[in-house]
Structure 1
Amino acid sequence: MTDRMPRLAAGVDAALAATTLGPAPARVDVVIVGGGSAGCVLANRRSEDRNTSVLVLEAGRSDLIIDPFIHMPAALPFPIGSRFYDWRYESDPEPHMNGRRVYHARGKVLGGSSSINGMIFQRGNPMDYERWGGDPGMEQWDYAHCLPYFKRMETCLAGADAWRGGEGPLILERGPAENPLFGAFFDAAVQAGYPRTDDANGYRQEGFGPFDRTIHRGRRLSAARAYLHPVMHRPNLHVRTLALTTRIRFAGTRATGIDYVSLGRRHTVEAGEVVLCGGAINTPQLLQLSGVGDPKLLRPMGIDIVSGLSGVGDHLQDHLEVYVQYASKLPVSIAPGLKWRNRPKLAADWLFFRKGLGATNHFEGGGFVRGNADVDYPNLMFHFLPIAIRYDGRSPIEGHGYQVHIGPMYSDARGTCRIRSVDPRVKPALRFNYLSTDQDRREWVEAIRVARDILGQPALAPYNGGEISPGPQVETDEQILDWVRADAETALHPSCTARMGVDDASVLDPATMSVHGTTGLRVGDASAMPYVTNGNIYAPVIMLAEKAADLIRGESPLAPSSAPWYNHRTGTPLDPPTADPPNRTPLAATQHPAGPAD
């Protein structure tokens, strides 16, 4: 990719920020820091009251409608790694990953990471939210109370029912999964002893089938395009890009506004309420810079303490993944269509007709399984691709292939996010502590063996040209772990660094989203999650922001749902109990009743 288009877009952004958009208001009722996934939801919901003035400050650039690198689904490898679209974070050297620094892409654009992600829409399992609701003070965050917000946020084109919404701003299309490799993969999963599911976001998550995607009529439907742009005409809503918030202003423990920098100039905005939506990295960073955090970290930097919350930046969770890749004996993959010589046709089909290989993210199906008999609900997630390729576009073979993305969903490893400097432009120190626990390492070995078992079934035999990665030479448990240490990448799901709760290590009041020890300061993004969910976190973040909007406004939350969900241990009125996974060695680690141990 050349830099010509992004450079042009950046120049247009600067011109818009400097002239067309004008200066931000000096005072508003609500300032939302971050125009990413959660910020777009909060901006929409808070500005519904025309008497409430709302300002959104986004440090990245605008998501110009003419930019194909954002809006073409198949172009998703291009923004990742580009300084025009991606903040390009890196972890500190990970001690259990051979000292590697693990790259972390984060959206540097309106819509945040929803403008550069893989567009996979997964809510997580109902028992994820039972786990949330099982903690003290979190009773209103169980599945019954979260499901109405999942329904409110979406229009599921596959059909609305007791579990799916039909009138929300986020339109979801089900992956067609028409390539014959998808059908063979689903059949192979059944042959390996795993079920099919009609809807992984509905009654039954466990099983294999097509996935929902945030794609509509051949275009990416980011949070900005679903929630923010349709209401930009509201006179009480103001949005500013290229605006880096540097500090929260306090009078005692009350948040009174923010300072920000735009195009080299410093500005101050007074606000009746400050809502942080910077995500699991930037929200704890801004809290720490503003005096909300562990005094042992902040005082040596000369930062005055507003609220001494040791949990700010702790409890960092993420998903790690690898690609298990196979060559295909038959010429059925999508590899030829993505070759450079065919890209002009791909681009033309998308640009003029919104169809073809450019109109899909290619993550059209996959599945969720319990990899052993000890876990209560799926601890492994599969994304299937009818091509062997990496996120950056590199391919291990010249011909045809296919792959699964696989990794444990409930690692009990916990990391940290810590500021290094009082300069807000200096990226914080990130340590995820991948593979640092016995459970994590055991589940990684399990994940690779489950993947190989499925990919080695008869349904895929006509295509199976042999394993490319990791390769047949990687067989023992230690060889598998060595490969994971060297090859695994983040699935880009950082979360939980300002978690809700009422214990001493929590940061947010679950009933109001207020930061403990402060007034007028709230959080409504992925950092608020108490535990990461078992899948891509975009959908849970939108749900969380939808519910946070009601809690922040002091409105009564939506009435809880009575819809049942699939539970393999107890069954439900819709299903009898089912057997444990086939031929799996139980995990010895102790586990949370609704998931893994903390």
Structure 2
Amino acid sequence: MAYDYIIIGAGSAGCVLANRLTEDPTCQVLLLEAGSPDKKPEIHIPGAYTKLNNTAVDWSFWTEPQPAIGNRRLYIPRGKTLGGCSSTNAMAYVRGNKEDFNEWEALGNQGWGYEDVLPYFKKSENNEQFGEPYHGEGGPLNVTLSKQPSVLGSVFVDACTESGIPANTDYNGEKQEGASMLQFTIRKNKRHSTAAAFLKPVMRRSNLTVRTQTHVRCILIEDGRAVGVEVMTAHSDTERINCAREVILSAGAIQSPHILMLSGIGDPVELSKQGVDIKFPLPGVGKNLQDHVWSGVSGLATIETGNALLKPLRMAQALVQHLLLKSGPLGNSPLEANAFLKTDELLNRPDIQFHFIPLGIKDDYSTDIYNIKTFSTQSGFSIMSILIRPESRGYVGLRSSKPKDPPVIQPQVLSHPKDRQTLLAGLKKAIEVMQAPAFSGYLADGISLPKDLSDEALLAHIDKSLETLYHPVGTCKMGNDPMAVVDDQLRVHGVKCLRVIDASIMPTIISGNTNAAAIMIGEKGADLIRSAGK
């Protein structure tokens, strides 16, 4: 079979590309995925999100030790199945702030301002509650508010308004700042991943081939042009697959730079250290890693919350509700409500985001956020304070020249001193919200984590509790400076017929959860490819 396009990675952007490129029946498209089909039942149950970590559908990466937080290593889950992280994330649909995209354009990336990208957000979307001028109707991806929210979500919004954060019905609309219920990629009580929304409806197209359990060893570069890929099958056989038009790398912000480096595209000094033949020197590959980090506050609740689902009988009841009655808590994301706020009124956009979760965290730091089994069965709730405009920058590097060895992931969290102070300010505001009158009838004994609310103790709490929000971006950044990897057409500098189309191309991280923007990048990237082919 001769393929016109080979897409590496069936994730948030890759599934979009497979759908849109095969709308042209004359194009033969091959979609490659290292993971398996998305048949694991927990993928499709929104409330079972936390049971996907450290399983066969997760790459289960870890960072290098982080000096700023006592050399702790941080867990970095990445989806390893059809749909990628859209099949394993918490389903929050958050586009980012208008100024995020205007900043991309100001950096020299024409066509990436807010007014340019808004049509692509709308194109992909079928929003059940909101419409024009900011939302789409009839698109493949279903977006909805929670159909069965707990009482605590609206209490959180009330507490925010009591604390000076205004209510805002739609943070994806005219303005972002304020408190609201979250929007989710859920349809009829099931997760609506890009595999469900974009890939499954077109799997029978004769010009689309999807191969799972196929690990890309490298992109084949001949005479400065991408001509195909070399892959390993599930049986460890090596195979060459040729491509007539373009190879499209959509493996995400960790693995897209990893595959480029294994293919000989990257910093020549680093490639030489690992014995990789240099095909094209591009020093920015893997650099500019950005991620959202967070710390939170938690307390015990006077009413039943998500912690109760950790009791076997209560979980069994919830499963019956979900599977037979299509109702109950398992049809919801573990997240519920949200707020965007500024720690300095002079800022042109929020720098802190809150996620409210009706789930309590143990007060002795024994809860591993990525391991649901370590949560208490005592009902509680938490506010996550998230640093959404970090100044710190890290990198992804080669550990070896072996394709299946995990890459070096060094985000260098809180390496910029401003980040720690901004996160501290956000944490103090979260405490104010949790202590607001609206929560008085629901918070059992005050804030239980952290117990000491002094600045010194809160900084120590950040060091003990900080995690990433699993939103890595920026490692194949778009731009025209010496450290840029792709241009504003998403073409890799210096190599013909090769593009990167995923969250790694973001020059700066957006102000909010990154999945919606990754899908938008897939939509826009497909149009860029089709325009070039005319």
In structure 2, the partner of 1:381 is 353
In structure 2, the partner of 1:475 is 454
- Greater shift after overlay, 460-469 or 351-360? 460-469
Mapped to 2, the partners of 1:193 and 1:556 lie a distance apart of: 52
In structure 2, the partner of 1:489 is 467
Select which of 399, 414, 419 maps to 2:398.
419
* 8 Å contact from structure 2 (residues 395, 409) kept in 1: yes
Please show how residues 163-562 of structure 1 align to structure 2 within 5 Å: 163-176=134-147, 178-262=149-233, 263-272=235-244, 273-328=246-301, 330-389=302-361, 390-394=369-373, 397-476=376-455, 478-510=456-488, 512-554=489-531
Deviations 1:64-98 (A, max 9, x none): 2xx3211111111111112x111110001111121
Secondary structure of residue in 1 paired with 2:121 = helix
Please show how residues 38-49 of structure 1 align to structure 2 within 5 Å: 38-49=13-24
Secondary structure of residue in 1 paired with 2:320 = helix
Mapped to 2, the partners of 1:322 and 1:446 lie a distance apart of: 11
Amino acid at match of 2:294: E
Q: CA RMSD in A?
A: 1.6
Deviation at 1:332, TM superposition (A): 4.3
Secondary structure of residue in 1 paired with 2:476 = coil
Question: CA 1:178 to 1:43, structure 2 compared with 1: closer, same or farther past 3 Å?
Answer: closer
Mapped to 2, the partners of 1:450 and 1:322 lie a distance apart of: 12
Deviation at 1:434, TM superposition (A): 0.5
In structure 2, the partner of 1:145 is 116
TM-score (norm 1): 0.85
- Greater shift after overlay, 393-402 or 344-353? 393-402
- Greater shift after overlay, 145-154 or 295-304? 295-304
Question: CA 1:338 to 1:248, structure 2 compared with 1: closer, same or farther past 3 Å?
Answer: same
Amino acid at match of 1:158: Q
Secondary structure of residue in 2 paired with 1:184 = helix
Mapped to 2, the partners of 1:519 and 1:415 lie a distance apart of: 28
Deviations 1:454-489 (A, max 9, x none): 11111111122234553232422x322222122111
Deviations 1:118-148 (A, max 9, x none): 0111001111111111112x13101010101
In structure 2, the partner of 1:94 is 66
Question: CA 1:211 to 1:473, structure 2 compared with 1: closer, same or farther past 3 Å?
Answer: same
Where does structure 2 lack aligned partners over 5 or more consecutive residues? 362-368
Question: CA 1:469 to 1:100, structure 2 compared with 1: closer, same or farther past 3 Å?
Answer: farther
Select which of 10, 32, 54 maps to 1:57.
32
Amino acid at match of 1:71: H
Secondary structure of residue in 2 paired with 1:554 = helix
In structure 1, the partner of 2:366 is none
Mapped to 2, the partners of 1:48 and 1:191 lie a distance apart of: 50
* 8 Å contact from structure 2 (residues 352, 423) kept in 1: no
Amino acid at match of 2:428: R
* 8 Å contact from structure 2 (residues 296, 385) kept in 1: yes
Deviation at 1:395, TM superposition (A): 6.2
Deviations 1:258-285 (A, max 9, x none): 0000022111100021000000011000
Question: CA 1:470 to 1:155, structure 2 compared with 1: closer, same or farther past 3 Å?
Answer: same
Amino acid at match of 2:348: D
* 8 Å contact from structure 2 (residues 148, 328) kept in 1: no
Mapped to 2, the partners of 1:292 and 1:403 lie a distance apart of: 43
Secondary structure of residue in 2 paired with 1:499 = coil
Deviation at 1:396, TM superposition (A): 5.7
Deviation at 1:399, TM superposition (A): 2.9
Secondary structure of residue in 2 paired with 1:494 = coil
Amino acid at match of 1:537: T
Question: CA 1:259 to 1:355, structure 2 compared with 1: closer, same or farther past 3 Å?
Answer: same
Amino acid at match of 2:335: F
TM-score (norm 2): 0.95
Question: CA 1:545 to 1:327, structure 2 compared with 1: closer, same or farther past 3 Å?
Answer: same
Mapped to 1, the partners of 2:374 and 2:58 lie a distance apart of: 22
* 8 Å contact from structure 2 (residues 299, 449) kept in 1: no
Deviation at 1:334, TM superposition (A): 3.9
Secondary structure of residue in 2 paired with 1:348 = helix
Amino acid at match of 1:349: Q
In structure 1, the partner of 2:364 is none
In structure 1, the partner of 2:44 is 71
Amino acid at match of 1:207: G
Mapped to 1, the partners of 2:276 and 2:47 lie a distance apart of: 45
- Greater shift after overlay, 47-56 or 385-394? 385-394
Secondary structure of residue in 1 paired with 2:254 = helix
Amino acid at match of 2:141: L
Identical positions, percent = 35
* 8 Å contact from structure 1 (residues 180, 332) kept in 2: no
Deviations 1:424-444 (A, max 9, x none): 001110100111111101101
* 8 Å contact from structure 2 (residues 182, 338) kept in 1: yes
Mapped to 1, the partners of 2:86 and 2:377 lie a distance apart of: 31
Mapped to 1, the partners of 2:191 and 2:430 lie a distance apart of: 29
Deviation at 1:182, TM superposition (A): 1.8
* 8 Å contact from structure 1 (residues 177, 365) kept in 2: no
Mapped to 1, the partners of 2:375 and 2:81 lie a distance apart of: 31
What is the aligned length? 525
